Structure formats: structure tokens, C-alpha cells
Copies of this chain bind each other. A is one copy, B any other.
Amino acid sequence: MAITVVGSVAFDSIETPAGRRERCLGGAATYFALAASYFTEVRVIAVVGEDFGKRQEAVFQARGIDTRGIEHTAGKSFFWEGSYLDNLNEAKTHITDLNVFAAFEPKIPPAYGDSEFLFLANIDPVLQRRVREAMPNARMVAGDTMNYWIKDHRPALLEVLKGLDVLLINDTEVRMLAGNSNLVQAARAVLAMGPRTLVVKHGEYGATVFHSSSAKGDGAEEPRTFRAPALPLEEVVDPTGAGDSFAGGFFGYLASQPEVTPSAYRHAMFYGSVMGSFACERFGTERMQQLTRQEIDARFLLFRELTHLD
């Protein structure tokens, strides 16, 4: 099944203990699309400026990603500059220039209309909702958000949550959204806001999926709380985009399956972790651009070994 993703396509300047890179191709929709492209057909809705040229376009083309929904306008693309010098688990933002993204009005190409899977990356919940409503054929909708929207745009965000099948956020965001520091209680509170399934990303410790009691899969088995590990990595070059790559692996795998069964969810959690771990191995989207399905499946087995009892 094809996935349409709406979100940011951006340039990032990144500094980590491993070095510094200027203006890497980045943005949540880019990481997500690249990661998901190893599993299924992907279509992107975004806006870029005049600095997004053939070289950037080629990155999407090489992975067979549909870019007809990337609008080109006058001005500069979204730019982010950040560093991870003290703590690889948390970016310190130096510059956020929204540029053309400030006036983003998602335009959905007619060819995207039959997408059955829709991913609402971390953007203004008002836009997330608008895209969701404009794509009534999407039968499975997942989304992301961040502290800014949780704190200052709560009513709009709550509207989005009502329509989500899967929300993917990190520990801090779950606790902030629920106003509860206990992860299990916070997860239950967030599920009560609408999403049938909640994926909580724990950074280097993996991720946990919680299901609301009504979230039965297509099969007879009841989906259960499940935790996927993250691979302890020898070298984290750049954690930027690891969460979006997780989402791309997770949702891409689900979209590639004939049925979204409880077992498919568990495998999707592992594939999410796998793609998140690859993302950290090089600066920006470098690693996401040049993987093979063989490498992905080899790492899947490594992850499985890591927690498999016998």
C-alpha cells in the first residue's frame, strides 16, 4: 500500500562529537520517506524554496519516492541548526528559520488520492487535520508531534489525536501530553484522547507500543504491549532524524503487509528500531539514502537475537 507523508523537507546544519556538516538534506518528511521507501511506495507533501535543486530532488528519485506533492516556491527552504555536543540524546537548537515553511499550505496531487496509509509528520496540527480531511481514502493514519504543539496548540492537537490510528512520540512528549510522569498511566491517558495505538520512542533504549483495549488487529489475537530494543551502537555519528526514520520503518513495514495483525505490529516495532539505528550511523540522511533491504533484514535478525531468549 502507498503511504503519503506530509511534513518538513529542510536543510540542517549539525554538530556532534563526530564532526560538523553544513546544510545536509533533512526534515521529518525526508527521513520518514527515505526509511519507508525500503518497504513500500511513498509520496511526499511538503514545500521547499529555491535552494532545493536537482541534487536534492535526486535523493528522492533514487529511492523511487513520488515528489509531485513537493511544492517549489520563491524563498528559502526550512533551515535548522543544532548540536549534540553534551548529550547525544538531546539536540540543542541554535537556529530555526521556517522560511517558506511558515506559509505552508499543503497541496495534495490528485494522484495521491488513493493512498491508504497517511503519515502526519510533526507540523502544525491545523495542517495535519486539513491533510487528513483531504484524504478520506486513508484507512490508516499515523502521526507525530512535539512539545511546542503540546504546550501551545493543545486544542488543535487534540482534534488531530481523535482521528489517529497510531501516535508516535517520545517519553517526554507522552508525559507532557498526559501530565503524568508514570509511563503506563500516561500512555493510557493518551490512548483515551483518541489514538488506537501509541508508540513511545525511548531513544537509545528502544520503543514501546501500547494499544487501547478496542484496538483489535485484523486477526483474532489481541494486540499486546510490546517493547522493541534499540541496538547498542558502537558509534552514534548523528542522531538527527532517528525518530522520523523509526516512524518510516514502522509505518512502511505495516503498509507493506497484507494485514495489520498484532504480529505485524511487533515486527513493525523492530523494523522501526532498525531504521532508527541506521539513521544514527552517518550525518543527516546519508545512511538512509544508501541502504539495501538485505542490510535491513540482517540488522533485523541482529535485533531479534539481542532480545530472543532461546
Chain A residues at the B interface, C-beta cutoff of 8 Å: 88, 181-185, 187, 202, 204-206, 208, 224-229, 232-236, 263, 266-267, 270, 304-310
Contact = CB atoms under 8 A, between A and B. Distances in A.
A234 B204 contact: no
Contacts of A88: 181
Nearest to A263: B310
B208 A183 contact: no
Contact of A229 (B187, B307, B308): B307
Nearest to A269: B309
Which of A88, A232, A235 has the largest count of B CB atoms less than 10 A from its CB? A232
Contacts of A304: 309
A204 B229 contact: no
A226 B187 CA distance: 27
A215 B53 CA distance: 53
Contacts of A307: 226-229, 307
B233 A184 contact: yes
Given A182-B234, A184-B234, A205-B205, A227 B226 contact: no
Copies in the complex: 2
A203 to B, nearest CB: 9
A206 B204 contact: no
Given A227-B229, A229-B227, A234 B309 contact: no
Contacts of A225: 232, 306
B229 A309 contact: no
Given A182-B233, A205-B205, A227-B232, 4 more contacts: A182-B235, A185-B235, A187-B232, A266-B309
Contact of A306 (B226, B270, B305): B226
Contacts of A270: 309
15 contacts: A182-B233, A187-B232, A206-B229, A224-B306, A225-B306, A226-B306, A227-B229, A227-B232, A227-B306, A229-B229, A229-B307, A263-B309, A266-B309, A266-B310, A308-B308
A306 B204 CA distance: 18
Contacts of A227: 206, 229, 232, 306-307
A181 B236 CA distance: 10
A3 B205 CA distance: 31
A185 B233 CA distance: 9
Contacts of A235: 182, 185
A309 B309 contact: no
A270 B184 CA distance: 20
A180 B182 CA distance: 30
B232 A208 contact: yes
A225 B231 CA distance: 10
A232 B183 contact: yes
A147 to B, nearest CB: 18
